[in-house]
Structure 1
Amino acid sequence: MEIIGRVKKLFDPQKFGSGFRKREIVLTTEEPYPQNILIEFIQDKVDLLGSVRPEDKIKVFINIRGREWTNPEGVTKYFNSIQGWKIEEISQHSLEENPRKTSSISPSLSSDDFDDLPF
């Protein structure tokens, strides 16, 4: 799976006593209802974020992970996380080289040409 968006927030890397490393980013999707998606990068994948900056537009390849946890009272809960494993920069140049084609009504047409509607 993949998510495309702009980097909203880049958290500092975390290193734990066990040697485990983790770094998180928030990616804001560009759609009618933008979503702020938290994505974590773990272990050697933390290094992928070395050149990423806030406001960069990127494509992140992800895996969705789920886990089960039972608290001391015996209640079982489920958690999901999104882990990034590859990043591609979305080049603004490629968007400029392929401008959207737009159609327009011929200037020779007037509003009178559209009066033949049946209602």
Structure 2
Amino acid sequence: MAYELTGKIKLIQEPKTFDSGFTKREMVVIVEDGKYPQEINLEFVQDKAALLDALEPEQEITVSFDIRGREYNGRYYNNLQGWKVVTGGDETAPPAEEPSFPTPSDFEDDDIPF
């Protein structure tokens, strides 16, 4: 299940690569939520860690992420795992297309289908 949040980057941590070859990188995004802004930590793993390379603190972004949960030694943990980042001025996002429907002027009198 995918979720999105929009906010301003507070910090981007350096990538961490573990002995197993697993790589992760974390980012904190400040989300305005009423009177008290929330500081949300998101992680990007493996090839998705590179999505943070071109970003800088204070940028306004929208992050698409999944919620991941697991159990370890009787304790339960949740992670927000990012997989897409769109900056405020990113022109690479696909434009929203409105469907094109024929209008009566698109048909001639003898084009009526019945």
Q: TM-score range by the shorter chain?
A: 0.7 to 0.9
Q: Deviations over 1:85-110 (max 9, x none)?
A: 00001139xxxxxxxxxxxxxxxxxx
Q: Report whether the alignment pairs 1:63 with 2:66.
A: yes
Q: How many Å apart are 1:18 and its aligned residue? A: 1.1
> Which structure has the greater CA radius of gyration?
1
| Structure 2 gap ranges (5+) | 91-114
Q: Percent identity?
A: 45
Corresponding residue number in structure 1 for 2:108: none
| Structure 1 gap ranges (5+) | 71-75, 93-119
> In structure 2, what residue type is equivalent to 1:57?
E
**Aligned equivalents of 1:25, 1:87: Cα separation in 2:** 11
Q: How many Å apart are 1:31 and its aligned residue? A: 3.0
> In structure 1, what residue type is equivalent to 2:85?
I
Alignment TM-score, normalising by the size of structure 2: 0.73
Q: 2:32 aligns with which of 16, 30, 37?
A: 30
**Aligned equivalents of 1:57, 1:30: Cα separation in 2:** 12
Corresponding residue number in structure 2 for 1:6: 8
- After TM superposition, the structure 1 = structure 2 runs for residues 27-106 of structure 1, keeping only pairs within 5 Å, are 27-32=29-34, 33-70=36-73, 76-91=74-89
CA root-mean-square deviation: 1.3
Q: How many residues align?
A: 87
Divergent runs of 4+, >6 A = none
Q: Deviations over 1:52-74 (max 9, x none)?
A: 1000100000100000112xxxx
**Aligned equivalents of 1:61, 1:19: Cα separation in 2:** 24
